[in-house]
Structure 1
Amino acid sequence: MALGSSRSPSTNLIFADKLASFWADAEEECLPVEGTAFDQDAIATFVQGCDVVVCCYLGDDKLMVDGQKLLIDACESANVPRYVASDWALDYTKLKLGDLFPKDPMIHIKNYLDTKTKVAGGHILIGGFMGPIFSPSFNIVDVQTNTFRYWGDGNEIMEGTTYDDAAKYTAKVVLDSEAKGVLKFVGGRATIQEIAKSYEKVYGTPVTLENRGSLEDLDKTMHDKRTTSPQDVYSYMSLFFHYYWVSGQTFAVDWEGFMRSWSQEQIGTSYFALNM
């Protein structure tokens, strides 16, 4: 049986209708438990008897850090062996606190889970979600004018996954009791130019590619905006995501990167350094 915990959906009628439909389809296989992220009694009831808890919180730092810590502590008290953190992001383990500030809570939660001995953390990393690329908030693709805007030279790789595939990967993780730690999945890897060609192929519409500047220009622009108007977070947050999405810093190590991590004298022994 699966348990699902949520706050009351009554203030969001669209969500309420979808949730009601889901529970109706699930019949006896799912049991809803209503509560809030800081309702410790409800949380304790919810986690009882679970083999794994998957957190899908999305909100401010208090929810993402303090709220998750309460849930993790409840899992520990109830002997729940695994906790899948609310991640579904690019590889923030390669970033420092403050680099991509919206992902700072994920770094804090991973560090917190690493201190636990009774509950193992699971961190599902999927690159970026594909949908936001086409949304006005990211200002990358304008579907009204069929314009693709980019920073850099247009050959930077973007790793992306759909919401549906991320959910399927998560379901596989839930069903595998040995799936723990950092778990990396990706639906596709392509440059903005390749994505634009796919757009033309799928929709039969020619596109315009618009260069906004170099990656160095993007880095300067996003930090200048944040310094000038820190309270206007939505004016620069997508720029930070864009930068770390294409900078390559969060990708797996490539051949050249691997060689740079070893001296020429030592690289011949790298095969034996699996645990280093």
Structure 2
Amino acid sequence: MAQTVGVAGITGKFARCVVKSLLQNPGISVRGFCRDPSKFPASIAASSRIHIVKGEFNDKVSLQDFVAGTDVVICCYLGNADLMSEGQKLLIDACVTKNVPRYIAGDFSVDITNIPYGALPPKDPCKDIMKYLDSTDIQGVHILIGVFMETFWSDFMQIWDPKQKKLSHWGTGYEIWESTTYGTEADYTVAVAMDKTAVGIQQFLGDRKSLIEIVEVFAKVYGYKPNLRNLGSLEDLHQSMHKSLQSNPADVMAWMPKFFFYWSQNEDACLKRDLDNTNYPHVVPMTFEDFFRRHQIDGLASAADNLTSEA
């Protein structure tokens, strides 16, 4: 069945993965929205199935032009609280005005539904949007995926040291990491977008493993077992992250990775056991082992910067 899917923030990394997956479906047309269309690959933008609308996130006229005629809008915004909260509200308002039936919010994270406001500051805007969607006529969709696998190995999380080839962690190492690659999540997002019955909270994962288990799989694939450096207990982490935030809130990299580490390891933010993966059996999720086999050991830290090579 032919559908038109809107992708807001179409020049972003995750958005490009979504577009790549969308274009694998012949009946899909894509409407994109961004500030600078020149950042989108010209080879893809030239497709007759893609139309890109240029505009600022608060340009109501451009937003309505963008969403007009779409069957569902996927928000791939990634930015500050103003963009993620007020920007999404304006996008939702445009969807309501143009009678778009469904809106897939820019969540893509651990389960934030049980996390109190202020406990994971970067995700407070997502909680705002959950409430906002409930107050509108549009059907909201919230996709939860744990931690992006590429992000786990990136400099941002401060877990993997690519020079010394060791892993640093808080806690025992037996806590479970729930993780999904950008490519796998893009495929699930597209599956949800094409499924008109998919509304509310959707939960997908590529893999669930403790750091101890991840190290064993790492050794199996690469023939090298990285050392583990324990930084303290999760309670130590909790104290450290709040101290860092309070002492210098402007130094985002001093506290934000700690907050994401903590809530990625907190049971309150874990996804349900009975995942929604089973609703879309045609999507084959990438596991940690699959991920390692797709990347050279020296390329793990930069995997997020080389997403175009991932299926």
> What TM-score do you get using the length of structure 1 for normalisation?
0.86
2:40 matches 1:21: no
CA distance in 2, matches of 1:21, 1:253: 40
1:150 to 132, 154, 169: 169
2:182 to 163, 177, 202: 163
2:103 matches 1:89: no
1:79 to 77, 86, 99: 99
CA distance in 2, matches of 1:91, 1:247: 10
2:68 matches 1:40: no
Query: Which portions of structure 1, spanning 4 or more consecutive aligned residues, are displaced by more than 4 angstroms?
Result: none
Which structure carries more relative contact order (alpha carbon 8 Å, separation 6+)? Answer: 2
Equivalent in the alignment of 2:300: none
Matches within 5 A, 1:50-69: 50-69=70-89
Equivalent in the alignment of 1:3: 31
Residue 94 of structure 1 aligns to which amino acid in structure 2?
A: N
* 1:137-161 CA distance string (max 9 Å, x none): 2111112212111111111001000
Deviation at 1:106, TM superposition (A): 0.2
Deviation at 1:206, TM superposition (A): 2.4
Q: Aligned residue pairs: how many?
A: 245
2:159 to 135, 140, 151: 140
1:107 to 123, 127, 138: 127
SS of equivalent residue, structure 2 residue 91: helix
* 1:161-186 CA distance string (max 9 Å, x none): 00000100100011000111110001
Q: Does the 8 Å contact 2:177/2:210 carry over to 1? A: yes
SS of equivalent residue, structure 1 residue 236: helix
Equivalent in the alignment of 2:7: none
* 1:171-225 CA distance string (max 9 Å, x none): 0011000111110001100001111112222222221011111111110111111
Residue 264 of structure 2 aligns to which amino acid in structure 1?
A: W
CA distance in 1, matches of 2:87, 2:203: 24
Relative to structure 1, is the Cα distance of residues 253 and 80 closer, same or farther in structure 2, using a 3 angstrom cutoff?
A: closer
SS of equivalent residue, structure 1 residue 210: strand
Equivalent in the alignment of 1:199: 218
2:240 to 221, 224, 229: 221
Relative to structure 1, is the Cα distance of residues 170 and 253 closer, same or farther in structure 2, using a 3 angstrom cutoff?
A: closer
Q: Does the 8 Å contact 2:133/2:139 carry over to 1? A: yes
Segment drifting more, 194-203 vs 124-133: 194-203
Root-mean-square deviation (Å): 1.3
Say which one has the larger Rg.
Answer: 1
Equivalent in the alignment of 1:268: none
> What TM-score do you get using the length of structure 2 for normalisation?
0.76
Identity of counterpart residues, as a percentage? 42
Q: Does the 8 Å contact 2:146/2:180 carry over to 1? A: yes
Equivalent in the alignment of 1:116: 136
2:90 matches 1:70: yes
SS of equivalent residue, structure 1 residue 144: coil
Q: Does the 8 Å contact 2:37/2:54 carry over to 1? A: no
* 1:29-73 CA distance string (max 9 Å, x none): 221112121111111111111110111111111111111111100
Deviation at 1:252, TM superposition (A): 4.0
2:228 matches 1:209: yes
Equivalent in the alignment of 1:185: 204
Deviation at 1:89, TM superposition (A): 0.6
